[in-house]
Homo-oligomer: A and B are copies of this chain.
Amino acid sequence: MGIGNDAVEIRAQGWRRLAALHGLIEAALEKELQAAHRLSVVEYTVLDALSRQDGWHMRMQQLARAAALSSSATTRLVTRLEDRGLLTRVLCADDRRGIYTELTPAGQQLLDQARPTHDRALEESLTHAEKLPELESLVAALHVT
């Protein structure tokens, strides 16, 4: 049980804290976004990532990475959002395998409505987490640019 094991244990503890904080925040966001806009956290993440491209397209795999999802899950997620009229698939001319997605006005509008909900829920859960001794320092690290 020397110095090496201590490092291992510190890493494991850090990971447990990270997972705990992540779970806390995600649960809060999920609840609020679902209740107010019928959006899941991943769905919001995708819309947000698209809007961050500012009117520009994103390929499916970029979306997959942004949402930390498999490509199959991304396919169905995009289908879901497309069925709700929030985004559209655009075939790309240069590479006909590739598919671009872009926000529709309705998608942009829903995102505009959902963003305050998201930001408020995020702030609340961070404030809550900050009070838990084992999460305090990790929350502080998020404020750092």
Contacts and interface: CB of A to CB of B under 8 A. Distances in A.
Interface in A80-123: 118-119, 122-123
A15 B126 CA distance: 10
Contacts of A137: 141, 144
Interface of A (DSSP majority class): helix
A12 B122 contact: yes
A22 B21 CA distance: 10
Copies in the complex: 2
Query: Which size bracket describes the interface of A in this complex?
Result: 20 to 34
Contact of A25 (B15, B20, B23, B140): B15
Nearest to A24: B68
Contacts of A68: 19-20, 23-24, 27
Specify which of A119, A137, A141 lies most central, judged by the most chain B CB atoms within 10 Å of its CB: A141
Contacts of A11: 119, 122-123, 126, 142-143
Interface of A: 8, 10-12, 14-15, 17-27, 45, 68, 118-119, 122-123, 126, 137-138, 140-145
